[in-house]
Amino acid sequence: MSAVEDAIAHLDQYGYCLLPELMPAEWARSFAERCQELHADPQNANKISGDEHYETLFGMLNLDDRTWACASHPSAVTVARHFLGPKCRVVEACSKPTQPGAPHQALHADSAGNFVRVPDIPWMINSMWMLTDFTADNGATAVVPGSHRSRLSAPPADLDVDGPHLHAICGTAGSLLMWHAGTFHMARGNRSDTVRIGLNVAYYPRWFNNWVENHHQPVWPETFERMPRVMQSLCTGRRVHTRAEAYEAPPMAPPEGP
Ligand SMILES: O=C(O)CCC(=O)C(=O)O
């Protein structure tokens, strides 16, 4: 089996897979440095959520073209298409630094909050490019293997995040972690003295209503124009500047009962 076929089989069985060293480590580390500058730029403040420990900068497809090389990497796309179909798309890419002193992120599944019971087919394949080395001490993403088969939209409240169910997925800069959205996961706390930076790229099937993720940024028309064909073929959503233009309006509150 090829490395990608192995990765697909692993993701199918355990809910995640690791593709080590897909990009040169120095390339990834230099991209990580740029991510830090983008987080510090006041022009991007309206695209950032989180706090001083763990920030998410949305809209990376518009902010740094290296994002495209990650999002359209043939191994990543092969895995995403295997689970979501040939027409799946890249909907968002974000930079996620975990600062020294950060506590564990809350354990969660992705884009599952609107399901009463999650479907038994994948509704999203998520991914994390390690732009710095990921270690158990500096905030590596941790997963609960097999939890994608639970059909739960959120982890059981009593699951001990410091117990044996959580596996820290470690790798050198340039490696790629991919997971089924139903796999319970979190960024571990950062007990080291260096920042951990990941580039998160989210793949969705076209039937999914991406309005549910309320920070996602659309691909700008001028970004789309500059993209190579392979990246354009993965960005088939509306090319606009604001979320209001990209996604349908939030639903109205249900009418009062009699
Ligand atoms: O930053 C991480 O390691 C985890 C990211 C995450 O939980 C997510 O993108 O849903």
Read off the pLDDT of residues 12-54 as tens digits, 9 standing for 90 and up: 999 999 999 999 999 999 999 999 999 999 999 999 999 999 9
Please count the residues of the chain.
258
pLDDT at residue 67 above 80?
yes
- What is the number of the ligand 1 atom nearest to the C-alpha of 94? 9
pLDDT at 258: 64
Report which of 248, 136, 126, 112 is spatially closest to residue 191, judged by C-alpha positions. Answer: 136
pLDDT at 250: 65
pLDDT at 88: 98
Give the residue whose CA is nearest to atom 2 of ligand 1: 187
Q: Which amino acid is at 128?
A: M
Pocket of ligand 1 (CB under 6 A): 96, 110, 126, 128, 141, 185-187, 198, 200
Return phi, psi of residue 225, to 5°.
-60, -35
The bridge status of strand 48-50 relative to strand 16-19 is: unpaired
pLDDT in tens, 44-59: 999 999 999 999 999 9
Report whether 134 contacts 18 (CB < 8 A): no
- What is the number of the ligand 1 atom nearest to the C-alpha of 202? 9
Alpha-carbon distance 110 to 90, whole Å? Answer: 15
In the chain, the domains with their CATH numbers are 3-151+158-246 (2.60.120.620)
pLDDT at 1: 82
pLDDT in tens, 179-201: 999 999 999 999 999 999 999 99
Give the residue whose CA is nearest to atom 10 of ligand 1: 110
pLDDT at 247: 86
- What is the number of the ligand 1 atom nearest to the C-alpha of 187? 3
CA 208 to ligand 1 centroid distance, Å: 20
pTM of the model: 0.96
Considering only 95-104, 142-151, 173-182, 243-252, which range has the smallest mean pLDDT? 243-252
